[in-house]
Structure 1
Amino acid sequence: MAARGDATRDKLLDATIRLVREVGYTQTTTRAIAQAAGVAEGTLYRHYPDKAGLFVAAIGRQSGPAVAWARDLPTRAGTGTVTGNLTDCLTRLATLRADIVPFELAMLTDPELARAATAAHAAEPGPPEFLAQYLHAEQQLGRVRADVDPGKVAVVLLATLFGLAVPPPQAIGALGDSWPDIADAVVIVIEGIGTTPSAN
């Protein structure tokens, strides 16, 4: 019975992720999800309390592997370079963009989904905390300036990643080859644009 329940949850999550990618959050109704998963709509509510709960579970399913890797980022302090470690981390997180960005955008317009996601992740840290912990550890080793706030740098890095994931088409067209990739963004944030060379 437990195995059957797990299989049904997997079908529902797979259907949710696929439909959000194809038609967007607002068009992905519980009825459409159930139909795509091959189950009755009532079955959905036996596994998830509401649409928001299902969507939060789908976010967790998609982000799980990359978040698990990011969780270990603080242990990499003192190895490689700060720029290289952050580029590696953000590159892994960027692999989620096709599946996670639609959910992130949905949270900007759906207060219920935003509240459910906030409540679900309130007790456990995520990429912002892992990045901040890593930068703090590098500070202790003297590889990051002592006067910067690791939490603020983490937010800027993730905001930059999000911005690169959903760029305005006209911006890409106007900048052409100057449109940055993740490695460019990390170098700009970490090394800055001053004239003093960085040791990182």
Structure 2
Amino acid sequence: MPTGVAIRDVRQQLFDAAERVLLRGGPSALTSRAVTTEAGCAKGVLHRHFVDFDEFLVELIRDRTARVTTQAEVLRSSAGTGTVAGNLTVVLTDLFTSVAASIISLVIFRDDLRVRLRQTYPTGVPLLAEAAAMISAYLLAERDLGRIAADADVDTVALTLIGSGHLLFAGGNPPDADAVLKVMSSAIAGVTAHR
């Protein structure tokens, strides 16, 4: 990009470029040069907006984690519709076929990034912790509607679903919807209210 040309919403442009690099090449491919090249801008643009590359990555993770809030509202509003396992299948497929799985790898891959993230996220893995909270809230809504057993430990079930979903999608070749539905159905079978 020529010098002196204004870039609209530069942070979002850089975040989107980083996501594409991360999805295409994994955490080892994610460098400031790769991001700015993908974004079509000079390397200095990134450093004008962020102290260093790790700060950029922290902000990228915060931005992508905030998107879980939007997904949480959609999932919660689906309570009482369709099937519980079907709703969980959709949200976990969306979560793990997005950049989420790559961000998890990124957090594991970069020690300095993990240290910085601990200032904001003292426990758990960013994105996964928010996803578990999203699923817990959804399961509570379903419990209030009588579709989940009144004595169900929804927090433990949510963690089980996140772990199962992560394992299903971690191999690189995403499973088909029927495979995800089968796992979700099995995982909630013990807490599904039987009428």
Q: Identify the TM-score tier after normalising by the shorter chain.
A: 0.7 to 0.9
Give the deviation of 1:62 after TM superposition: 5.3
The residue that corresponds to 2:194 in the other structure is 199
The residue that corresponds to 2:28 in the other structure is 26
Give the deviation of 1:25 after TM superposition: 1.6
Change (3 A) 1:139 1:53: same
Whichever residue aligns with residue 179 of structure 2, its letter is D
Q: Determine the C-alpha separation between the residues in 2 that align with 1:117 and 1:110.
A: 11
Question: Structure 2 stretches of 5 or more lacking a match?
Answer: 1-5
The residue that corresponds to 1:101 in the other structure is 101
Give the deviation of 1:187 after TM superposition: 0.8
2:159 equivalent to 1:155: yes
TM-score by length of 2: 0.73
Which stretch has the larger CA shift, 144-153 or 59-68?
59-68
Question: Structure 1 stretches of 5 or more lacking a match?
Answer: none
The residue that corresponds to 2:188 in the other structure is 190
Q: Determine the C-alpha separation between the residues in 1 that align with 2:193 and 2:154.
A: 17
5 Å-filtered alignment, 1:112-127, equals 112-117=112-117, 119=119, 126-127=130-131
Give the deviation of 1:67 after TM superposition: 4.8
CA root-mean-square deviation? 3.4
2:160 equivalent to 1:165: no
- 8 A Cα contact 1:59 1:100, kept in partner: no
Change (3 A) 1:6 1:128: farther
Whichever residue aligns with residue 94 of structure 1, its letter is F
Give the deviation of 1:183 after TM superposition: 0.7
Give the deviation of 1:157 after TM superposition: 0.7
Give the deviation of 1:91 after TM superposition: 2.8
Give the aligned length.
183
Superimposed CA distance per residue, residues 128-175 of structure 1 (whole angstroms, 9 cap, x where no aligned partner): 112101112222333212333111111111111111111389xx9xxx
TM-score by length of 1: 0.72
Instruction: Work out which of the residue numbers 128, 140, 146 in structure 2 matches 1:142.
Output: 146
Give the deviation of 1:65 after TM superposition: 5.6
Q: Determine the C-alpha separation between the residues in 2 that align with 1:36 and 1:150.
A: 41
